[in-house]
Amino acid sequence: MAKTQVVSVALVTGGARGIGRSIAATLAARGMGVMVADLLDTSECVEQIRASGGKAMGVCADMADPGAAKEAVLETVEAFGRLDVLINNAGMHPQGRGWPPLREMELEFWERIVRANLTSTAVSSRAALPHLDNRTGRIVNMSGGGPWGREWASTYSHVAGRAPYMAAKAGIEILTRVLWEEEKDKGIVVTCLRPTIRIALDYEPEEIRARHPGPGILMPHVLWLLSAGAAEVGGRVYEFDGERLRPVPYLS
């Protein structure tokens, strides 16, 4: 396979639609080569990027599977010649109010949600780290669902029934700090974005998209996390409430 020459390269997991698709298109529009990885069909996202003059490829991969994640990374390096950025966006979000409380939850259900969100982040990072450039390497982990600190009990009581999702997202934030401590001497910056507002995704009904902002509202903050200095964003979780981006104090 002939390599496509680009200045920098990003692998975006969960990039076929929603926030991941918006991130992939945003990075490609700024001249980056983008590999879109997803269990879903990535062709529409890739075609959209290419139609706008960007460089993108797609790979069907379960990024929680070590073999599949390793292959996705290798395909990225083979296609573009390098890897600079990993966006850990893959995950599974609870829809509706039908999730059972923990006492009634099947272990298989718990494991499936944690695997899609937290395990995929760890496995993808592990696969990408040996290939990330030590001068420009960046990992941005996507969190969500609300704060996990002192505000949680009073502000987010409505998360009852979301135990595996919330536990996985909290784990992603702690993993961000741990990875940064492990990799900072190698020049790899690891950071995290936690949106706390409702984001309307491209596949949701029109009435929802009319009431809530789309993923585009997050893109300036994703770009800032990729460009800000290591001392400012390394190991930190930044929360965006729809108006202000701020570091989460307990992980600062």
Convert the pLDDT of each residue in 54-110 to its tens digit.
999 999 999 999 999 999 999 999 999 999 999 999 998 766 566 888 999 999 999
Range of the domain at 241: 9-251
Number of structural domains in the chain: 1
Q: Give the pTM.
A: 0.91
Q: Is the pLDDT of residue 163 over 60?
A: yes
User: Domain with 175 in it: what CATH number?
Assistant: 3.40.50.720
Which residue of the set 165, 203, 238, 250 is catalytic? Answer: 165
Q: Is residue 4 part of a domain?
A: no
Q: Is residue 142 part of a domain?
A: yes
Q: Is residue 1 part of a domain?
A: no
C-alpha dihedral over 167, 200, 138, 126, to 10 degrees? 40
The answer to whether the Cα torsion of 140, 141, 142, 146 is positive or negative is negative
Q: Is residue 48 part of a domain?
A: yes
Per-residue pLDDT of 9-48, as tens digits, reads: 999 999 999 999 999 999 999 999 999 999 999 999 999 9
Q: Is residue 40 part of a domain?
A: yes
Q: Is residue 233 part of a domain?
A: yes
Task: Specify whether 238 is catalytic.
Answer: no
